[in-house]
Amino acid sequence: MRYIPAITKLIDEFSRLPGIGRKTAQRLAFYIVDMEPARAHQFAEAILDAKRKVHYCERCFNLTEESLCDICSDPKRDPALMCVVETPRDLIAVENTKEYNGD
Ligand SMILES: [Zn+2]
């Protein structure tokens, strides 16, 4: 049996996300269909908002909504120290240790 076009489109979009298989994509699509309209709108808006506002820090390539990220614009940080990580997600792990005070 084929899904109606709007469901198929939603399943296809979820399937393109990393780590989401076809079955999970179907489950998520049906979850969205059952959502309250306001909640679905909030979800869609969060995606659009992130795409509109989030970009890379011009100094360190961390994610930010400003030209410099929170770390680069923090005057209490030591700019002589620099920790290099592979992705912004790795940076969160270093920051959560609360042991590092450089840029
Ligand atoms: Zn930065």
In the reported structure, the alpha carbon of residue 64 is separated from the centroid of ligand 1 by a whole-number distance in angstroms of 8
pLDDT band, residue 24 (cuts 50/70/90): very high
CATH fourth-level superfamily of 5-53: RecR Domain 1 (1.10.8.420)
Can you give the pTM of this predicted structure? 0.72
Length reported for the chain: 103
For the chain, where are the E strands, in sequence order? 55-56, 63-64
pLDDT in tens, 26-67: 999 999 999 999 999 999 999 999 999 999 999 999 999 999
In the reported structure, the alpha carbon of residue 58 is separated from the centroid of ligand 1 by a whole-number distance in angstroms of 7
**Which of 84, 36, 40, 31 minimizes the C-alpha distance to 59?**
84
Three-state secondary-structure class, residue 94: helix
Which residues, in sequence order, are CB contacts of 70 under 8 Å at separation 6+? Answer: 64
In the reported structure, the alpha carbon of residue 42 is separated from the centroid of ligand 1 by a whole-number distance in angstroms of 29
Show me where the domains of the chain are located.
5-53, 54-103
In the reported structure, the alpha carbon of residue 84 is separated from the centroid of ligand 1 by a whole-number distance in angstroms of 11
Contact yes or no for 62/69 (Cβ under 8 A): yes
In the reported structure, the alpha carbon of residue 85 is separated from the centroid of ligand 1 by a whole-number distance in angstroms of 12
Residue 64: its pLDDT value, please? 97
**Which structure tokens are listed for 73?**
């614009």
